[in-house]
Structure 1
């Protein structure tokens, strides 16, 4: 399974950046599917969070994201 991870920055608090929790995709999703999903999911997230912008979208295998 592949996960989509967004790195977002705020435009209000001096460009403070952070990574969002991973977004799990369908079991059969490919890397191409993940990059296409990043456009859709990312645009929905930005509409819901107008004081932020997406700095980077990353697609990687599940479990590769560091859980702190």
Structure 2
């Protein structure tokens, strides 16, 4: 996961850990752990973030699945 890209999107939409966590209906500490790589996002959380931030398919892949970009390009 590319936490820096997600944090930039959060800033673009004037979000912080608390506001995004509320939107996803999860605890702020849980979201922080996910952003910092201590646990993984669920598919429904990724979907919620994608909808909230109007992410393109490429943005979803680059934020949540950065290691697969090389596979897709092959």
Task: Please confirm whether the aligned pair reaches a TM-score higher than 0.5, indicating the same fold.
Answer: no
> TM-score normalized by structure 1?
0.31
- The structure carrying a bigger strand percent of its residues is 1
Higher relative contact order structure (alpha carbons within 8 Å, sequence separation ≥ 6)? 1
